[in-house]
Structure 1
């Protein structure tokens, strides 16, 4: 199905809350290099070149809003689902940093759910202990692991003077019913000590199938505990959302607060003359739309975050050779960036 391109006029006005500079700076991942470091910042060791940074999208902001809502009213769990490569792990990184900056009293745990051919309580609690920061050697028996987990969480919360634990489970579609039951036990044990565990199951669309199966089977204790709220996490779906993401590169600084913005670092002369990536939102979006149409890809255009950021990174990394005070980023520049992102090849592979 052919997609209509969007002209530059449709990009503005952009909703201001989506690109709040404070939130973008707070949630961007930083690397060990700092303003006081003797290491000179170059194109090759910049966080963007190493893909060691985080930027905001409309979907990420919706995720942040959901988490803040659940924390505010103490909803015990929510389900966030999306197709692969839409940026779920990226969003978890962003969210963990956001909470660390704005809610230091909350203990945030991140657990990557591993695939196991059989359910064993020991490995599950070992993963939880690892998420809580308990490394080798770990307790041997399940009872000892449960006790060590409770003690660790209690110690960490006392340091924060808090009573809320946020657990972010990545690839949560791998969690079995038994694992959710074990997690429910942890929730109940913490509640007995006045601690609230809020779990976010982040994974692929199979999570919705699991929820439906639990509902049909009458497993209300699982649905009501971990799947009350739900969010369909999406990629970039229009030029306005593209502008939100591009504005992050215009606003985020490295080193944080003292360094130049990402755009200014790679295009210093053009940036001084007024160049901003946000102004190219329509051109970049249309580049993806055209590539989608020419390749005859099925379905509506929804750009996974991985390929969107690769296109932006391609554009920025060309800064040293293209930068000038009179530079204008033309559609041809962005079409090249879209090609270099690998979007078409990836979609052709997964949709065959």
Structure 2
């Protein structure tokens, strides 16, 4: 490999190899627009739902970064809810204190933890230059009524201080069942605070959507402030000769379509982001040894990458093994 094609870092250090990167998708872009509208309209909360591995957590990371870019200094907290036998007020407020970065999240009584949380958030928001903040609750279908009531206490306390709290519940479709159950049990205040809006986090449903994602690999650079795009890093010779991943959108879509048809699942093809990204990572790393000026991916290469991503196995679980709810 000539000097101009010599990679600036080891392959093992690249974010694609380490699975530590974010690229935009049509679904993420649409979600971002909806969340910005929530902010403008002073909507207090929303449900964001999707099946497992459709990229919810990945998308939320992107949205947090984008919010902080568009609203410099804005406070964005995130917490992951855990499965438990019964809700614990102490554990709940410890979780929120940890999400807020409080140094004493584990000590003190529940009363002290409640006070610390409200003071900590007020301090963060005051320093941000805004009068609102966003909190993302991941796997929110695990929350129980008592926990929603505790969260409502936080919302109301901060509202009295002039601070607007926007709560985004991120989880699986069971969240919609939970909303229905809350409505039937007359927990209207919980719905109005946290579930008034609904957003579905879709998978990738056509070649154009794939093209948007693939273009991200062609444009994102690492190391920062260099000309080493992700695609160029893995295929420097081919890239210099004009190779771009975006031109592979139809070929990648057709490979997923072939796998989908073999699975005999009677639903339209919708690719979870997790399996799309894993497929691209496998293809980039597995075939980089073939890099040359006239390198091209073959249908077989894409078929093998899709198979190694375990997309077909996941499809069976998602659409056959999961309850319809």
The two structures share one fold, judged by TM-score above 0.5: yes
User: Which residue, 112, 134, 138 being the options, matches 1:166?
Assistant: 134
* Structure 1: distance between partners of 2:317 and 2:232: 36
TM-score by length of 1: 0.85
Aligned CA-pair RMSD: 1.6
C-alpha distance in structure 2 between counterparts of 1:303 and 1:320, whole Å: 24
Structure-1 residue corresponding to 2:290 = 322
Is residue 73 from structure 1 mapped to residue 41 from structure 2 by the alignment? yes
Q: Does 1:231 align with 2:195?
A: no
Question: CA–CA distance in 2 between the matches of 1:105 and 1:228?
Answer: 26
Secondary structure of 2:11's aligned partner? coil
Q: Distance in 1 between matches of 2:226 and 2:119?
A: 40
Match of 1:56 among 20, 24, 27: 24
Name the structure 2 match of 1:83.
Answer: 51
Counterpart for residue 273 of structure 2: 305
- Of 1, 5, 10, 1:42 maps to 10
Q: Is the 8 A contact 2:105 2:113 kept in 1?
A: no
* 2:177 match: 209
Partner SS, residue 41 of structure 1: coil
Which shifted more, 176-185 or 327-336? 327-336
* Unmatched 5+ stretches in structure 1: 1-38
Who is 2:149 aligned against? 181
Cα distance between partner residues in 2 of 1:218 and 1:148: 31
Deviating more after overlay: 290-299 vs 342-351:
342-351
Decide whether the 8 Å contact of 1:112 with 1:170 is kept in 2: yes
Counterpart residue number, 2:121: 153
Describe the SS at the equivalent of 1:165: strand
- SS in structure 2 at match of 1:318: helix
Q: Superposition pairs for residues 12-161 of structure 1, below 5 Å?
A: 41-136=9-104, 138-161=106-129
C-alpha distance in 2 between matches for 1:259 and 1:130? 38
Normalised by the length of structure 2, the TM-score is 0.92
TM-fit CA distance, 1:174: 0.5
Structure 1 window deviating more from structure 2 (150-159 vs 283-292): it is 150-159
CA distance in structure 1 between the partners assigned to 2:159 and 2:104 by the alignment = 27
Distance 2:190 2:317 in 1: 36
Q: Would you say the 8 A contact 2:98–2:105 is kept in 1? A: no
**Equivalenced residues, count:** 314
101-110 or 74-83: bigger deviation: 101-110
**Contact conserved, 1:139 with 1:148, CA < 8 A, in 2?**
no
Higher relative contact order (CA 8 A, sep 6+): 1
Moved over 6 A (4+): none
Can you list the C-alpha shifts for 1:221-271, whole angstroms capped at 9, x where unaligned?
111111111111111111111111111111111123334110011111111
CA contact (8 A) 1:251 1:261 kept: yes
1:284 aligns to 2:252 (yes or no)? yes
User: For the residues of structure 2 that align with 1:160 and 1:255, how far apart are their CA atoms?
Assistant: 30
